[in-house]
Homo-oligomer: A and B are copies of this chain.
């Protein structure tokens, strides 16, 4: 038994009872998600530290490798950041030879983004430990369990922000290409 017994709240109305699963709130899953995601990104973070890049670079390299030829606008939409924010990391990735730009074949204002071999290797190196972690977390789950995990994660995503993860259902403004 730990805490909270002997301390003396002064006048400030202090609460010493833990916020538990009263109120019908699922604190267990909330915290599991927090810790799971934190450790999930710690793997690539360790690699990135050695190469001088950060998480922002990771995301860019990842999505460019997943959808070569995507436009800057599409990438901004996926990442939900501003172009000024993207510009900083994208420039570094281009200058270091991880990503290349090609003027759009039809609309030459566009800069379509492609990975170089180097960029592909980086993306794979970053994804590998994450995939291992996922495989480990999945082991012991049957087909139904794996399906449940996917359904759960999909259900956590805002319907509007369905990005590259499942890109059927690409509502109205499909003015890309």
Contacts and interface: CB of A to CB of B under 8 A. Distances in A.
Nearest to A102: B7
A135 interface: yes
Contact of A157 (B2, B28, B36, B147): B36
Contacts of A52: none
Interface residues of A, number: 100
Nearest to A63: B31
Given A7-B69, A68-B17, A101-B4, A32 B127 contact: no
A136 B67 CA distance: 30
The 5 nearest A-B residue pairs measured at CB: A137-B155, A145-B148, A3-B69, A36-B156, A6-B105
Interface of A: 2-9, 12-19, 23-40, 42, 59, 62, 65-70, 80, 94, 97, 100-106, 108, 111-112, 114-117, 119-120, 123-124, 127-128, 130-131, 133-141, 144-158, 161-166, 176-177
